[in-house]
């Protein structure tokens, strides 16, 4: 889904409660503040039920819920505050970059074998 979807909040609330994953597409370099409690995993127990504040509502939180976020930026610059709340994975790699990476692995293995 996208942040611009008209039923964004409703779908998020249902997914959080039922433990369904969400893939949030085409995010810029800043995220909507409504996602802050999810990123910080600010859950609490209320009457024995794990809950979370989402927007103006307190909803039940399923531990199976996962949030995945993608961007089209090849080299996004996120604020340090955001980078500490999420795991960033860069899937953008060129053929030359992959070749250099693999060559580096081979050299490390060979050096380790020589040290033994």
Question: What is the residue-level pLDDT of the chain in tens, covering all 116 positions?
Answer: 988 889 989 999 999 999 999 999 988 888 888 899 998 989 999 889 999 999 889 999 999 999 998 888 777 778 888 878 888 777 777 788 888 888 999 999 998 888 87
Q: What confidence score (pLDDT) does residue 89 get?
A: 77
Q: What confidence score (pLDDT) does residue 75 get?
A: 74
Q: What torsion, rounded to 10 degrees, do the Cα atoms 74, 79, 83, 84 define?
A: 170
Q: What confidence score (pLDDT) does residue 81 get?
A: 82
Q: What confidence score (pLDDT) does residue 23 get?
A: 93
22 and 13 Cβ atoms separated by less than 8 Å: no
Asked if the structure places residue 59 within a domain, the reply is yes
Domain with 76, as residue range(s), is 8-91
Q: What confidence score (pLDDT) does residue 33 get?
A: 87
Asked if the structure places residue 1 within a domain, the reply is no
Q: What confidence score (pLDDT) does residue 99 get?
A: 87
DSSP symbol at 34: G
The number of domains in the chain is: 1
Q: What is the CATH number of the domain that holds 72?
A: 3.40.50.300
Q: What confidence score (pLDDT) does residue 93 get?
A: 75
| Nearest to 22, CA basis, from 34, 31, 13, 33 | 13
Asked if the structure places residue 82 within a domain, the reply is yes
**0.85 exceeded by the pTM?**
no
Question: What is the C-alpha to C-alpha distance for residues 27 and 63, in angstroms, rounded to an integer?
Answer: 24
């Amino acid at each position: 889904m996208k942040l611009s979807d008209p039923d964004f909040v409703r779908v998020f609330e249902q997914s959080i409660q039922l433990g369904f994953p969400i893939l949030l597409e085409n995010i810029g370099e800043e995220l909507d503040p409504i996602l802050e409690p999810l990123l910080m995993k600010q859950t609490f127990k209320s009457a024995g039920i794990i809950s979370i504040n989402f927007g103006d509502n307190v909803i039940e939180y399923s531990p199976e819920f996962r949030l995945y976020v993608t961007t089209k930026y090849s080299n996004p610059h996120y604020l340090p505050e955001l980078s500490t709340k999420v795991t960033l994975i860069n899937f953008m790699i060129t053929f030359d970059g992959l070749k250099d990476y693999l060559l580096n692995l081979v050299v490390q293995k060979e050096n380790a074998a020589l040290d033994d």
